[in-house]
Amino acid sequence: MQGRCYYCNKELTERTIKRHAKSCSVMKKSIEEKMNYTKGVREQFIISMKDKYNPSLYCIYVSIDAKLQLQHLDKFIRDIWVECCGHLSAFYIDEEIYHDNSDEQYEMNFYLKDVLNVNKKFEYEYDFGSTTYLTLEVVDIIQVPNEFSQVEVIARNNPEEGKLNNSPRDGVCGYIGNKDSEKEYLPGNNNKYKVSNKKPIHNNDAFSDFDDSEQMIENSFLKHHNKFTNSFIHTFFQGYIFF
């Protein structure tokens, strides 16, 4: 795999891209310069994303504000790599599942800083019919000024010959990609992201007021059953179930 750094434009390989994303001198200089007039400092995660089954083909490194939520990382992945027909998605972190907010359980309203830490490996799935599987890892945590971009691309693999779109979802479902999708995430962008104040309902949290354990189990089963049913129906009407 060949890629490049979005700060210094250096050509990278599968073996060097991780190390460079953590140590790019141009990125560090940019951060240091902004530190001279900052009004505060915060933490930023550097996260690698790869195609789970073809890790040597597609790779992106993203820098993201640790005080943002899973929903913001989900949006980044959708915008850059996978969005086609509004399918469901989910993160898998420490054997917990965080579904997207379409069911109004707001499981992706968890703050990144509360579920992730350095060296944490986790997974992501988009579309539970013709699924795209990604593996992610927090490779570093850096200090940045508050004025620093909240979400930006640090590095990405170069387009592969014969691939229509530079994405692990190439050729799947209705995905056509958008070459301009990464523009809003380029280094130095000034985009501001709104954090939702809706409290996430996750696992047994939704049933903490029930004293009856059987009722808790029943409701938990129904919750996850409904998620599966909704995914199945969504997939059916996209035309992926054949009899």
Range of the domain at 207: 203-237
User: 212 and 179, same structural domain?
Assistant: no
CA-CA distance, 141 to 16, in Å (whole number)? 18
CA dihedral sign, ordered 219, 225, 75, 58 = positive
pLDDT digits (tens, 9 = 90+) for 179-236: 889 999 999 999 999 999 999 987 544 333 434 444 434 444 444 444 555 445 444 4
pLDDT digits (tens, 9 = 90+) for 111-168: 999 999 999 999 999 999 999 999 999 999 999 999 999 999 999 999 887 667 899 9
pLDDT of residue 86: 93
User: 208 and 179, same structural domain?
Assistant: no
- pLDDT at residue 3 is higher than 60: yes
User: 162 and 214, same structural domain?
Assistant: no
Domain presence at residue 135? yes
User: 117 and 230, same structural domain?
Assistant: no
Asked if 159 and 166 touch (Cβ cutoff 8 Å), the reply is yes
CA distances from 171 to 51, 192, 203, 213 (A): 14, 32, 35, 46
Asked if 185 and 153 touch (Cβ cutoff 8 Å), the reply is yes
Domain presence at residue 193? no
Model pTM above 0.75: yes
Which residue type sits at 111? Y
User: 82 and 54, same structural domain?
Assistant: yes
Minimal CA–CA distance to 78: which of 70, 89, 67?
A: 89
User: 219 and 176, same structural domain?
Assistant: no
For 174, the enclosing helix (H) or strand (E) is none
Edge to edge, the sheet with strand 151-157 lists 11-13, 2-5, 151-157, 59-65, 41-51, 132-145, 121-126, 89-93, 96-99
Q: How many domains does the chain have?
A: 2
Tokens 């992730």 sit on residue: 116
* C-beta atoms surrounding 18 within 10 Å: 18
